[in-house]
Amino acid sequence: MIGFFIVALSVVLPLIHLALTKAPRTKSRIVRILLLYALIIDVGVMGFLFGFIPHVFFPDQAAKMIGWSPSPLQFEVGVHDGAWGVLGFLCVWIGGLFWLATGLGWSLFMLGAAGGHIYQTVTADNYAPYHFLMIFTDGFVALWLLGLLYLHHRCGGLQRQGAG
């Protein structure tokens, strides 16, 4: 499933980045690079390319892969995912508390989505691949982002910008 591949990229690509750059590998820099890639890939790419595009432009196919019937609410879900995706991409240029807001908001959504997938799996026997397997990718992304945000904060990376 492509979700596992994308999530794996969000861990592997920053490690390759760190290995290929000559800058010192301080704890703060390692965490910052891991978090930036997580925000771009796990929020930006996942939200925009794998939430917005399928739900908005291919709603019947997306519903089938999730084990749902097509619904007009898919458009709203797609726009929601796309908005978060844009925030993930903006993390390239905007840092500080913007990273916290983006990562925390997406993590809470992912935890809720994972909980919804668990509930529907148990109560409706929905084992469609893009439903059941999302329990693991959504759950991992949420915990990965929350852990990285915490470590980034501990390294002094979440400072207020533009206050005043």
Q: Is residue 6 part of a domain?
A: yes
Domain extent, residue 137, equals 2-154
Q: Is 84 exposed, middle or buried (0-12, 13-18, 19+ CB in 10 A)?
A: buried
Q: Is residue 160 part of a domain?
A: no
Q: Which residues contact 84 (CB under 8 A, 6 or more apart)?
A: 43, 47, 51, 102, 105, 106, 109
Are the C-beta atoms of 159 and 96 separated by less than 8 Å? yes
What pLDDT score does 164 carry? Answer: 36
Q: Count structural domains, the chain.
A: 1
pLDDT at 121 over 80: yes
Q: Is residue 159 part of a domain?
A: no
Q: Is residue 75 part of a domain?
A: yes
Q: Is residue 162 part of a domain?
A: no
Residues in the chain: 164
Share of the chain above pLDDT 90, in %: 73
pLDDT at 162 over 80: no
Report the pLDDT averaged over residues 43-70: 92
